């Protein structure tokens, strides 16, 4: 039996000197593995949380653009034959003061459309996200929108014109839905 | 102590030993897939940071570049065209090169001065190296049309979609379309 310098109180019954040092080694290895595991698990949790945040933010970006595009189409797609339903659609996509203004304009809008038998059909050519707030509850979107406007100032001879719009929209997230709180035109519609 | 007692004691020690040693081995083996997962997630995280930076950098670059590329003055044509060319890459660089001569001739002939003011950039889509930006451009121009007594001034309001591509640490226009 080999004799290695070991403290007397470390020796238990049945211990050999080589037994103690290899048990020490095994314990040290165990501690190292535990520390590395703990560190990797912590890193994993942090990275998974960040990935989750990112994916949520990406979904929000898509939702904002989708809502902005839809309301842009609503605003430029109206017909004197379906005025009430068309304005209802616009009101439904808006929030705050803008919503109230659209709602209040319902009868006037219907009258204006009826006057010249106006019809408009809009398409969004492109939409870009200018800003998404860190709290992800407000956003700003710019849109390139074209609309074909048909009017019949002289009965029986409808005239069509292609309009080019540059829209700047502000959106608010309300109960999980993105609604337009402000819409402005950057310049005169061409 | 009796021999049997010592043998029993040794067996107990050996059993404790192999249980904790087993845990250590399992733990060590677990480290490998964990390390792989952490590495993949870390790379994705870094890419996402790059994309976030790309969005704001490309928006700012698009606003400046649209002005560079869409403005020119018949008195400083060579410098203006060179400046525009320096902001271009890829498909747009080739297109610009092809039309530069015609542009110079027309601008000189009509004594054209065009001032482009871009505003309101928005990101249509983004990756770490390529961002599509929508920007509104107001072009104020003065031209001397042949036969007219006075120069013609006009303001064109356009919507421009630009693909910004990262080249080194600069963002250049690789595609430009007026919508």
Give the count of domains, chain A.
1
What is the model's pLDDT at position B21?
81
- CB nearest B27 (choices: A33, A128, A186): A33
pLDDT digits (tens, 9 = 90+) for B48-83: 999 999 999 999 999 999 999 999 999 999 999 999
Q: Structural domains in chain B? A: 3-178 (3.10.450.540)
Percent of chain A past pLDDT 70, that is, above it, reads 89
Q: Which domain holds residue A153?
A: 63-185
Q: Between these two residues, A84 and B18, which has the higher pLDDT value? A: A84
Which pair of structure tokens corresponds to residue B142? 């003065």
Q: Alpha-carbon distance A63 to B155, whole Å?
A: 35
CB contact under 8 A, A127 and B124: yes
Q: Other CB atoms closer than 10 Å to residue B71's CB: what's the count?
A: 20
Task: Give the residue from B44, B120, B137 with the most A CB atoms within 10 Å of its CB, the best one to mutate.
Answer: B120
Residue B1's pLDDT band, with cuts at 50, 70 and 90, is low
Provide long-range contacts, Cβ within 8 A and 24+ apart, for A15-21.
A15/B13, A19/B13
Does residue A153 belong to any structural domain of this protein?
yes
Percent of chain A past pLDDT 90, that is, above it, reads 67
Does residue A27 belong to any structural domain of this protein?
no
- CB nearest B121 (choices: A126, A128, A144): A128
ipTM of this predicted complex? 0.83
Check pLDDT > 70 for residue A24: yes
CB contact under 8 A, A15 and B13: yes
Please report residues of B whose CB lies closer than 8 A to that of A141: 122
What is the model's pLDDT at position B15?
57
CB contact under 8 A, A144 and B161: yes
Q: Alpha-carbon distance A72 to A89, whole Å?
A: 11
Does residue A40 belong to any structural domain of this protein?
no
Label residue A37 left, alpha or beta by phi (over 0 means left) and psi (-120 to 50 means alpha).
alpha
- CB nearest B34 (choices: A14, A44, A128): A44
Our CA angle for B89, B95, B98, nearest 5°, is 120
Strands A157-174 and B130-143: unpaired
Please report residues of B whose CB lies closer than 8 A to that of A186: 119-120, 136, 157
- Contact status, residue A139 vs residue A170, Cβ threshold 8 Å: yes
Does residue A54 belong to any structural domain of this protein?
no
Does the CB of B118 have a partner CB in chain A at under 8 Å?
A: no
pLDDT digits (tens, 9 = 90+) for B136-170: 999 999 999 888 889 999 999 999 999 999 999 99
Does residue A143 belong to any structural domain of this protein?
yes
A-chain residue closest to B38, CA distance: A44
Number of residues written out for chain B: 179
Element (H, E) at A142: strand A138-154
Our CA angle for B26, B32, B37, nearest 5°, is 125
Percent of chain B past pLDDT 90, that is, above it, reads 80
Task: Give the residue from B8, B38, B49 with the most A CB atoms within 10 Å of its CB, the best one to mutate.
Answer: B38
Residue A147's pLDDT band, with cuts at 50, 70 and 90, is very high
What is the model's pLDDT at position A32?
87
Rg (alpha carbons) of chain A, rounded to whole number: 34
CB contact under 8 A, B123 and A23: no
Residue B14's pLDDT band, with cuts at 50, 70 and 90, is low
What is the model's pLDDT at position A15?
53
Least confident interval from A9-13, A96-100, A186-190, B44-48: A9-13
What is the model's pLDDT at position A135?
86
- CB nearest A47 (choices: B35, B41, B122): B41
Which pair of structure tokens corresponds to residue B99? 């039309």
Please report residues of B whose CB lies closer than 8 A to that of A126: 124, 134, 159, 161, 179
CATH number at residue A175: 3.10.450.540
Q: Alpha-carbon distance B85 to B63, whole Å?
A: 16
CB contact under 8 A, B123 and A15: no
What is the model's pLDDT at position A8?
55
CB contact under 8 A, A40 and B38: yes
pLDDT digits (tens, 9 = 90+) for B85-141: 999 999 999 999 999 999 999 999 999 999 999 999 999 999 999 999 999 999 999
Please report residues of B whose CB lies closer than 8 A to that of A27: 20
Which pair of structure tokens corresponds to residue A86? 């068309």
What is the model's pLDDT at position B113?
96
Q: Between these two residues, A62 and A33, which has the higher pLDDT value? A: A62
Our CA angle for A60, B174, B96, nearest 5°, is 145
Q: Between these two residues, A26 and B12, which has the higher pLDDT value? A: A26
Does residue A34 belong to any structural domain of this protein?
no
What is the model's pLDDT at position A16?
58
Q: Alpha-carbon distance A181 to B127, whole Å?
A: 29
Does residue A23 belong to any structural domain of this protein?
no
pLDDT digits (tens, 9 = 90+) for A89-125: 999 999 999 999 999 988 898 898 888 899 999 999 9
Beta bridge partners of B88: B173
* Closest Cα in chain B, distance from residue A114 (Å): 30
- Residue A122 has φ and ψ, to the nearest 5°, of -110, 150
- Residue A108 has φ and ψ, to the nearest 5°, of -60, -40
Q: What secondary structure does DSSP assign to chain B, as a single string?
A: --HHHHHHHHHHHHHHHHHHHHHHHHHHHHHHHHHHHHHHHHHHHHHHHHHHHHHHHHHHHHHHHHHHHH-EEGGGHHHHHHHHHHTB-HHHHHHHHHHHHHHHHHHHHHT-EEEEEEEEEEEEEE-SSEEEEEEEEEEEEEE--TT-SS-EEEEEEEEEEEEEEEETTEEEEEEEEE-
B-chain residue closest to A20, CA distance: B13
What is the model's pLDDT at position B17?
59
Q: Alpha-carbon distance A78 to B152, whole Å?
A: 37
Q: Average per-residue pLDDT in chain B?
A: 92
Does residue A150 belong to any structural domain of this protein?
yes
């Amino acid at each position: 039996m080999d004799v290695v310098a070991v403290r007397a109180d470390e020796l238990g019954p049945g211990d050999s000197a080589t037994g103690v040092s290899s048990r020490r080694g095994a314990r040290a290895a165990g501690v190292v593995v535990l520390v590395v595991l703990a560190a990797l698990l912590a890193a994993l949790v942090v990275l998974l949380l960040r990935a989750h945040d990112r994916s949520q933010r990406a979904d929000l970006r898509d939702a904002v653009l989708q809502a902005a595009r839809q309301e842009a189409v609503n605003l430029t797609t109206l017909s004197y034959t379906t005025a009430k339903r068309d304005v209802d659609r616009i009101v439904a996509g808006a929030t705050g003061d803008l919503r109230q203004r659209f709602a209040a304009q319902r009868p006037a809008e219907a009258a204006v459309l009826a006057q010249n038998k106006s019809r408009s059909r809009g398409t969004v050519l492109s939409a870009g996200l200018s800003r998404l707030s860190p709290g992800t509850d407000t956003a700003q979107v710019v849109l390139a929108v074209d609309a074909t406007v048909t009017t019949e100032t002289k009965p029986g001879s409808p005239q069509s014109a292609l309009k080019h719009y540059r829209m700047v929209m502000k959106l608010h997230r309300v109960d999980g839905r993105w609604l337009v709180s402000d819409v402005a035109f950057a310049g005169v519609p061409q | 102590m009796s021999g049997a007692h010592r043998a029993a004691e040794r067996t107990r020690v050996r059993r404790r030993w192999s249980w904790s040693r087993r845990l250590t081995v399992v733990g060590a083996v677990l480290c490998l897939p964990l390390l792989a997962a952490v590495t993949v997630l870390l790379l994705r995280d870094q890419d996402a940071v790059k994309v976030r930076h790309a969005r704001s950098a490309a928006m700012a670059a698009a606003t400046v570049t649209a002005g560079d590329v869409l403005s020119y003055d018949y008195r400083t044509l060579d410098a203006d065209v060179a400046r525009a060319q320096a902001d271009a890459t890829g498909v747009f660089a080739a297109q610009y090169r092809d039309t530069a001569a015609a542009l110079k001739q027309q601008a000189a002939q009509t004594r054209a001065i065009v001032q482009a003011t871009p505003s309101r950039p928005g990101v249509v889509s983004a990756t770490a190296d390529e961002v599509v930006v929508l920007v509104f451009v107001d072009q104020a121009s003065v031209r001397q049309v042949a036969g007219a007594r006075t120069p013609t001034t006009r303001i064109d309001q356009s919507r421009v979609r630009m693909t910004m591509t990262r080249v080194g640490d600069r963002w250049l226009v690789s595609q430009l379309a007026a919508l």
